[in-house]
Amino acid sequence: DTEVTQTPKHLVMGMTNKKSLKCEQHMGHRAMYWYKQKAKKPPELMFVYSYEKLSINESVPSRFSPECPNSSLLNLHLHALQPEDSALYLCASSQDVSSYEQYFGPGTRLTVT
């Protein structure tokens, strides 16, 4: 089973709202990732968690706040976003951070109005 699930599938939020994106995997993977993907562009890495600890923050603005409550769950808390933050947000997981294949969830399509 190589399934990564994400909720919600679609999200529309205003610039003053607070919302959260959720990601879950039950493959026993110890690394989880958040990516942002704009139309016709490749995924851009935002955060990497390894063994539930934040390993990489790619200089992401503080209006994005990741959280890893346990080894199966990954959240992305959103606050005071800008319209340019509208994108497809992808969660991925891999066996470990080094050298292993990443499996992506279906993504959350976010629109900021």
Partner 1 sequence: QKEVEQNSGPLSVPEGAIASLNCTYSDRVSQSFFWYRQYSGKSPELIMSIYSNGDKEDGRFTAQLNKASQYVSLLIRDSQPSDSATYLCAVINTGGFKTIFGAGTRLFVKA
Which residue in the set 41, 51, 54, 111 belongs to the binding site for partner 1 (CB under 8 A)?
41
Q: Which stretch binds partner 1 (CB under 8 A): 21-29, 59-67, 68-76, 98-106?
A: 98-106
The answer to the question of residue 112 lying near partner 1 (CB under 8 A) is no
Q: Which stretch binds partner 1 (CB under 8 A): 59-67, 69-77, 79-87, 105-113?
A: 105-113
HEC letters along the chain: CCCEEEECCEEEECCCCEEEEEEEECCCCCEEEEEEECCCCCCEEEEEEECCEEEEECCCCCCEEEEEEECCEEEEEEECCCHHHCEEEEEEEECCCCCCCCEECCCEEEEEC
The answer to the question of residue 59 lying near partner 1 (CB under 8 A) is no
The answer to the question of residue 27 lying near partner 1 (CB under 8 A) is no
Which residue in the set 11, 21, 29, 43 belongs to the binding site for partner 1 (CB under 8 A)?
43
